Amino acid sequence: MKSRFERRKNWLLDFQDAFCDLQDLRDTTEIPEYLRGGNPFCSIRTWCKIKKMKDRFHQLRKRAQFIQTLVVNEGACSPGLSSTASHVDIATIFGRDNAKEEIIKMLFSTAYRRDGCVTVSRIVGMTGVGKTTLAQIVYNDDRVREHFDRTMWVCVNHDFDHSRILREMMVSDSQKINYTSSSQNQLYEEFLKFVGEKKRVLLVLDGVRTFNNGDWNKLLYLLKMGEIESSVLVTSQRSDVCSAMGMGVQNVYTLDPLNDSGSWALFQQSAFTQGNCPPELESFGREIVGKCKGLPLAVKAMGGLLQNNLDARKWRKISQLDVCEAEKVCRSEKPNILPMLKVSYNHLPSYLKPLFSYCSLLPKGHSFNQKELAQFWMAESLIQPQGQETMEETASEHFDDLLMRSFFHRISPHNKSQDYNYMMHDLYHELARYISSPYCCPVEDSKKHNFSAKIRHISLGCRDVEEVVFDVEEAVLEIIDKCKKVRTLLFPNYHLKKEFGQALDKMFKSLKYMRVLDLSSSTILELPKSVKELKLLRYLNLSKTEIKRLPDSICKLFYLQTLKLLECPQFSQLPQNLAKLINLRHLELDEEFWCKTTKLPPRIGSLTSLHTLYKFPIRRKVGYGIEELEGMSYLTGMLYISKLENAVNAGEAKLNKKESLRKLVLEWSSGDDALQDEAAQLRVLEDLRPHSDLKELQIFNFRGTVFPLWMTEGQLQNLVTVSLKFCTRCRVLSLGGLPHLEKINIKGMQELEELQELGSTLP
């Protein structure tokens, strides 16, 4: 007979499966009738599916009545979360000497003092990195003990409750007195007794997960009483919580994982009583430690599993496994790693949990781009914007939230012009895999895959190494056979040889619920016309392929949000009916493609959700005029408008409403056939006044003698760079004194005689 836990688990899996099917049904029925083929029997079939779905949820509701469920408030503390104390065995700490000195310097330095006479410092880092341990060795340092008259240690962990924290502060200071029944006023009086004695107080708040401003301000007010030199040391996984506590950037210490030598010393101390690894086991031991990626929690757990064990076969076996797998194989009575990491996951708001789970599809050690991950999330309908926010803005906020909670960490770019990339620690990656199973299926090259009907998201060859053994065509055919409801199919390994053979056309005709499809770096030369069958597709990546053009049938993908064709040197033409993709948000092509482009498909203005449009050449034909830009309010980054001699009523472009544009290029053609009279050109340029947030402006081949007032009177106060090339008739140039202007490029302006009021920051 199944246990109550198993029945509850199975019910939840069945409910989630039914909910996914309901989403598929909803999205399918919302496709416009003309794209569904106009079959009169479609509505009958849809009605039957809806009826079956209602019956299915009815059965789930009946089953739920017989299952005793445990309701846990969101953000509540996990039952397995233990309290911490201030004592620590210094002999078991390695590699934290520099960190200890930095924290002590923060506590003692007046440079970090905030809010009158209270210094607030904090240690931030991911779960298991050793924040509490570092706070303990600082707390017990002789210099700290001598400097402060009273030291108090409070393990917060739960909600940031002012009364509970104050009570535990008093108990920490005087454990002989029972403050359990004391009222808040009595606690205030007791605390103010030694505050009145002008004693210096150190308060450690360990494990702050949530807090509210009201309780924090009350606590801070008490510590400020009596003009004592109080200090607060906070440990938290969340850097945003610490920032919200009224602390500046300069008194944050971000605790990184241990280096190799510190990790190895800690492992030896955990695995051997004498603290020395036998030479014959050292190679296995170092491989095991390397997989811990410097996380003390994992290093100590692995050392504990092998404690005083000298069996080389066991060490070899453990060295070949991932850290969390090793705990399972060794039948650890009390696994430490995943349960501890899962506490952090349990404290996530409900809207962040599926976003983190989806990251299980990324390869371990894989650096990822924030924008691309957000596009995945949006394609899977995991982002629900609030109010006037766009999906991109909401996704960016959620990403930053996960970053501030230490689930991601930032990688510095090689040069300043590049965007930041991000990574997940390997153990957080294993946590994501554990949580997302069985719906997410990351398949590594050397492991057997076990595809099932429940799987919705698949990542093939997700180990970023060159030695990849993977038959892509065979794997895709197996997915077609076993995973009819798959929504995501990624091939994240750039070294993987992606030859689909006949599988691509079969996939398009069979996997009706696909939302995310990445075919980048594959050998495809032509996209089958059957791509139109992927009616729910929202993300399609064809980058780094030899594809030359797209079939016009792709324009039937009503839901498509992102279309990528980067590094496709042979690609030369967008489909004629591109304007039918009314939900398209990101059209990503190389600058080389746009430079060669002389015309776009007609009625591009129908794409009112589009964020990226590098170039817009104007033509004097219906559907190609500058008025097409009017409704494209979300254009972001750069916009290059060429052939301005064809512009009529340029003000209809509404550039002053496009607040996300950062770079604008305005170009008239250079040939004699492009000549306009001066008044016409000036009128066009006047009507193209951009939004005041613009950072860079370039104007080419303007033949007027003066520039419009929005340029000469300095209305674009945020401009950093201005380029004026071949504006051959201009004699006087004034930009109205732009406060942020750093660079001005002038070329081919033979009649220029005078420069006036450029920018206050120019030399």
Domain presence at residue 298:
yes
Predicted local confidence at residue 332, as pLDDT: 55
Which residue type is seen at 740?
H
- Does position 415 have pLDDT exceeding 70, yes or no? no
Predicted local confidence at residue 210, as pLDDT: 75
Dmax over CA atoms of the chain, in Å, equals 95
Q: Is the dihedral of CA 75, 78, 79, 84 positive or negative?
A: negative
Give the three-class secondary structure for 469.
Answer: coil
Q: 459: part of which helix (H) or strand (E)?
A: strand 457-460
Q: Are residues 657 and 707 in the same domain?
A: yes
Q: Are residues 246 and 279 in the same domain?
A: no
Phi, psi angles (nearest 5°) of residue 361: -75, -15
Domain presence at residue 495:
no
Total of domains in the chain:
5
Residue 128 backbone class (left: φ over 0; alpha: ψ -120 to 50; beta: rest): left
Predicted local confidence at residue 77, as pLDDT: 39
Predicted local confidence at residue 499, as pLDDT: 81
Domain presence at residue 84:
no
Predicted local confidence at residue 80, as pLDDT: 45
Contact 601, 573 (CB under 8 A): no
Predicted local confidence at residue 221, as pLDDT: 75
Domain presence at residue 496:
no
Say which CATH number the domain at 371 has. Answer: 1.10.10.10
Q: How far apart are the first and last CA of the chain?
A: 82
Domain presence at residue 534:
no
Q: Name the band, by pLDDT with cuts 50, 70 and 90, for residue 195.
A: low
pLDDT averaged over every residue in the chain: 84
Which residue type is seen at 573?
Q
Predicted local confidence at residue 675, as pLDDT: 62
Contact 319, 402 (CB under 8 A): no
Query: Among 156-160, 210-214, 458-462, whose mean pLDDT is lowest?
Result: 210-214
Domain stop point among 417, 432, 447: 432
- Does position 760 have pLDDT exceeding 70, yes or no? no
- Does position 218 have pLDDT exceeding 80, yes or no? no
Predicted local confidence at residue 42, as pLDDT: 60
Predicted local confidence at residue 354, as pLDDT: 95
Contact 453, 481 (CB under 8 A): no
Predicted local confidence at residue 207, as pLDDT: 87
Predicted local confidence at residue 687, as pLDDT: 95
Which residue type is seen at 151?
T
Q: Are residues 608 and 753 in the same domain?
A: yes
> CA neighbours within 13 Å on the CB side: how many for 706?
8
Give the three-class secondary structure for 368.
Answer: strand
Domain presence at residue 506:
no
Predicted local confidence at residue 445, as pLDDT: 61
Strand partners for 564: 541, 588
Q: Name the band, by pLDDT with cuts 50, 70 and 90, for residue 248.
A: very low
- Does position 500 have pLDDT exceeding 90, yes or no? no
Q: Name the band, by pLDDT with cuts 50, 70 and 90, for residue 681.
A: very high
Predicted local confidence at residue 78, as pLDDT: 41
Q: Are residues 274 and 225 in the same domain?
A: no
Q: Are residues 269 and 411 in the same domain?
A: no
Q: Is the dihedral of CA 549, 550, 555, 561 positive or negative?
A: negative
Domain presence at residue 364:
yes
Q: Are residues 206 and 294 in the same domain?
A: no
Q: Are residues 319 and 369 in the same domain?
A: no
Range of the domain at 43: 4-64
Q: What is the mean pLDDT of residues 621-650?
A: 94
Q: Are residues 638 and 693 in the same domain?
A: yes
Contact 430, 323 (CB under 8 A): yes
Q: Which two tokens stand for residue 710?
A: 């929005």
Domain presence at residue 585:
no
Domain stop point among 205, 222, 254: 254
Q: Which two tokens stand for residue 273?
A: 């009583």
Domain stop point among 288, 304, 339: 339
Q: Are residues 403 and 287 in the same domain?
A: no
Closest CA to 470 of 544, 522, 509: 522
- Does position 742 have pLDDT exceeding 70, yes or no? yes
Q: Are residues 755 and 609 in the same domain?
A: yes
Query: Among 6-15, 63-72, 148-157, 707-716, whose mean pLDDT is lowest?
Result: 63-72
**What torsion, rounded to 10 degrees, do the Cα atoms 305, 311, 314, 318 define?**
50
Q: Are residues 609 and 732 in the same domain?
A: yes
Determine the Cα–Cα distance for residues 544 and 481; give it in Å rounded to an integer.
28
Determine the Cα–Cα distance for residues 535 and 514; give it in Å rounded to an integer.
8
Q: Which residue has the tokens 């090689």?
A: 414
Q: Are residues 293 and 398 in the same domain?
A: no
Predicted local confidence at residue 67, as pLDDT: 58
Say which CATH number the domain at 733 has. Answer: 3.80.10
Closest CA to 725 of 694, 756, 703: 703
Percent residues over pLDDT 70 in the chain: 83
